[in-house]
Structure 1
């Protein structure tokens, strides 16, 4: 495992005729910073723990405790959306300390780890809701500082790839978690209790890896003539003397400065689009419950359904991250929601085939591969380094709040109208929101070639 932080400047890459950078062999070897790999390892171990719980939680709550779809929707909304209230706090704390990204993230990982054994004691709606809220508080604290560390450790032209590598490692843990849960459920009598206990032990290992191997955050020095990624995914190249200096002295890490980031047109558009699309993004747990009902999957096999999503995510995360760097991050982000729309459409059809679950889960995983890290890479381009955690937290907060509302609404619609009608409404809403996001998408300026400045210099100028 590489654990050293990469902070040195790198030579600029030569550009092709179309303005796309061609990294040299040395740049290609150093494209992914050691900090990204260390954080990826932490996420891999932590996701083994969290996905063990996530894989069995829907069945545990609905079949084991007898919750209604509305009650499950409430808890699922808490599980996925409660972190929204603390994401801004986590981002602000990390930025304000200058180098606290690691320790704020570590606090979040620690809180989530401690919540796992508490599920052994909770058997009714209220205590389970409190435990899940505390778990999501930990996730809310850690997400923005962790993503800021990834962003600050990467150059603008490789940021999509860096997030893709991290999400791929994260998803490797998501792939292993349900498998471990499945084995435990098959091998033990008190299966759920055993899953929660093992999950706690694995989560502690993830915190230990973070403390020992992830360096503190720092600003990555930018090469003088490197390409600067635009929010919409294009790239512009400017001479070093015409660029904004890396240390933004006026962007002080205060809460007011963080909220003022929404005055930036590109970041505001990104946040609004993430919020709109989140309003129609049905929770993963509901997707798996829909598949189980549609196909009659036995309870003992339910924990394996997330494997399809995780496998597709793992395979596609890095290629789509690299493609986003090349063709535009927002194009890939919207294409991912197109894949999700296709997955919903398949669930609504009368198609009965053994290939149906594979197709739905592949599209579901492709959606995450094209949106999760790509959104953070796009948002990073519009946020100054001094406020990187806070800026990313703004986008994440809007998305998390929207998904919280979606979980509540979907659970209510399922309870009143049934699962098929609820999914039909969500599919129509996603189509409308996707069209709106296409209209509001960030606009990237035209690409300028690296030699443009030299071409326009007066003769005789050095």
Structure 2
């Protein structure tokens, strides 16, 4: 038994070592940019209200506008990446904007300058997402594509967890010096840009003569495959049940969790997220991705049942852990499926569409969950979410086969 476990670990380590350097470059860059971003994300709303005197309503409206702006940037950066046939260039521009936004946030004496810096941060975030995931699809070995997306997701969540862990002691150490932390967050963002520059090479896409060059126009969307749209449809229904991690904090609070311990919820969620992403991605390279997607949907149903039925804080943390695990599992699986079904010349466009639609559906999910939470109860909110996820399970039957041999056959066509 121990010999078998040792051999399995050796195989995992071997597969990680042989992954292309560019995959590690993208993953590690994602770790550092997430570390930087979580510092901004954790503090900016409090800074706006307590230091710059902005009302909570304005913060909410501003946050919604920026989220919409970032999602719109994702689809257009994806289309631009496919047209220019460049991934690394747009990644560098996106990371560069994110890094440049940090000094603006730190040294802004006025609200307008702070908002300019925050807009630059969201522009950078929007620009890099679709080209990043398309680049992974371009350079990942075909038999390790799920593993590569899982690794990227794991490293990204590790960055988020590190950012959360570092922010609290740094705020205590600096006596709540927001500007110092905003400026300090420039360092990991800059390291992320350097990692992209040094470790990632522009992938060799098929020669222009091999396919029609796609000008930036919305009609290109219609050239995406039926399989891709089935995945988008299923993902959209499923996303209605994933109504936002802020509700996890509210659930903990409703069960008696002290305010200063609320960050523990995000920590547990991120740890379980990172623990699930890589194994599910790796397994999906050996088995039909649909089976693993069904398993991840069941994990969310279990999470909803636990969070909806429990009156115990320890059990609520179990539900939070399950919630985090399903995020890691479903994200790596869906990204791999999109890479499988989108042609290389439209891959970044496909990821841009996925991010845009997912973002819009998230807004709808948050709206219905907030209404049910306020007018009925947290318990009913999670139970309805479980019901929506159960309905999503039926949609998996409409997806094409994602067995490794079937994926290879489609790629040859």
The answer, yes or no, to whether TM exceeds 0.5 is: yes
| Residue 312 (structure 1) aligns with | 272
* Cα gap change, 1:122 to 1:269, in 2 (>3 Å): farther
Task: Give how far 1:75 is off.
Answer: 5.2
Residue 435 of structure 1 pairs with residue 391 of structure 2: yes
Match of 2:341, SS state, is coil
TM-score (norm 2): 0.81
Distance in 2, Cα, partners of 1:447 & 1:258: 28
Residue 341 of structure 1 pairs with residue 301 of structure 2: yes
Query: 1:137 pairs with 111, 123, 127, which one?
Result: 123
Residue 377 of structure 1 pairs with residue 333 of structure 2: no
* Cα gap change, 1:303 to 1:54, in 2 (>3 Å): farther
Task: Give how far 1:372 is off.
Answer: 1.4
* Cα gap change, 1:445 to 1:155, in 2 (>3 Å): closer
Distance in 2, Cα, partners of 1:402 & 1:258: 22
* Cα gap change, 1:333 to 1:385, in 2 (>3 Å): same
**Aligned-pair RMSD on alpha carbons?**
3.6
Deviations 1:47-79 (A, max 9, x none): 1111223344576678997966x7776555445
- Contact 2:87–2:135 at 8 Å: present in 1 too? yes
- Contact 1:267–1:382 at 8 Å: present in 2 too? yes
Distance in 2, Cα, partners of 1:344 & 1:66: 35
Distance in 1, Cα, partners of 2:249 & 2:54: 17
* Cα gap change, 1:447 to 1:44, in 2 (>3 Å): closer
Task: Give how far 1:368 is off.
Answer: 1.7
Query: 1:217 pairs with 188, 194, 203, which one?
Result: 203
Query: 2:141 pairs with 155, 161, 170, which one?
Result: 155
Moved more, 436-445 or 169-178: 436-445
| Residue 7 (structure 1) aligns with | none
Task: Give how far 1:212 is off.
Answer: 2.8
Query: 1:40 pairs with 27, 49, 62, which one?
Result: 27
Distance in 2, Cα, partners of 1:177 & 1:283: 19
* Cα gap change, 1:289 to 1:205, in 2 (>3 Å): farther
- Contact 1:86–1:137 at 8 Å: present in 2 too? yes
Task: Give how far 1:417 is off.
Answer: 2.7
Deviations 1:103-159 (A, max 9, x none): 1111112222333445454998x9877765543332221011111111111132210
Residue 187 of structure 1 pairs with residue 147 of structure 2: no
5+ residue gaps, structure 2, are 1-10
Structure number, greater radius of gyration:
1
Distance in 2, Cα, partners of 1:447 & 1:194: 49
Distance in 2, Cα, partners of 1:58 & 1:344: 29
Q: Map of 1:20-419 to 2, 5 A cutoff?
A: 28=15, 31-56=18-43, 74=61, 77-78=64-65, 80-98=67-85, 100-119=86-105, 121=108, 132-219=118-205, 249-256=210-217, 258-262=220-224, 264-299=225-260, 301-357=261-317, 359-411=318-370, 417=375
- Corresponding residue pairs, total: 394
Task: Give how far 1:161 is off.
Answer: 0.6
The structure where helix makes up a greater share of residues is: 2
Distance in 2, Cα, partners of 1:409 & 1:114: 36
Distance in 1, Cα, partners of 2:266 & 2:155: 16
Match of 1:381, SS state, is helix
- Contact 2:241–2:388 at 8 Å: present in 1 too? no
| Residue 424 (structure 1) aligns with | 380
